[in-house]
Amino acid sequence: MFLSRGLLVAGLVLCACGEDKEGAASQVTTLTDSNFEELVARGAGKPWAVKFYAPWCGHCKVLAPKWEELAEKLQGEVNVGKVDCTESQFIGNMFDVHGYPTLKLISEGQMYAFSGPRSIEALVAWAQGGYKSQEPTMYPFDRSAFHHYQIMASTIFAKYGFYIVGVLLVGIGAMICLLDPGAPVAMPSQPEAKPAQGAEKEEAESKKDS
């Protein structure tokens, strides 16, 4: 009796601890196609450290707790965000992400890529100013409108290309039918039937007798 009650209490305590841990608010901001440009705002005023990842990536899963720890250590100094590139493909393409995880820091309209060991010490040092020793690249949203729309078009085609091609083919077929609905259908010509050899002989003999 006492043992069962003790196990029940222990179970309740463990559940409560688990819920508290899962319910703790993450300091990492989730960035998407729809909110990235507005929230990051070129890193004006406060830099943004952004992780571009895919949920299935093993290295990304290993980095996840360190990225949360980074966000906690840098509160008030640097904003920390993450982009799921399988969901936000446009942002992934805009930032030319080809591997996971990709780490970039955006500050005052300039962009810096992280390269090195992904230890918490190295990440903190980089985000707190180590990035300034790197050569910056242009913030993608500062590029020309043509580049912006080109990335948008390629993203849409990559995502819905199969459906777009199907719709185009159906549309072309329907247009052909509408433009020439009464066009005759060419039928293959049938060769003339030749009379049997026996019939030819009978006809020749009858002409002879007459």
Q: Which residues have a catalytic role annotated?
A: 57, 60
As given in the structure block, the two tokens for residue 89 are: 């493909």
- In what side-by-side order are the strands of the sheet with 102-107? 29-31, 79-84, 48-53, 102-107, 110-113, 137-138
Cα-Cα-Cα-Cα dihedral sign, residues 59, 62, 64, 67 = negative
The pairs formed by 57-66 with CB atoms below 8 angstroms and a separation of 24 or more are: 57/100, 57/101, 59/100, 59/101, 60/100, 60/101, 63/101, 63/118, 66/118, 66/119, 66/120, 66/123
Across the strands, what pairs with 129? none
User: In the 8-state DSSP scheme, what is residue 78?
Assistant: -
DSSP β-ladder status, 102-107 and 110-113:
antiparallel
Distance CA 210, CA 204 (A): 10
Residue type, 14: L
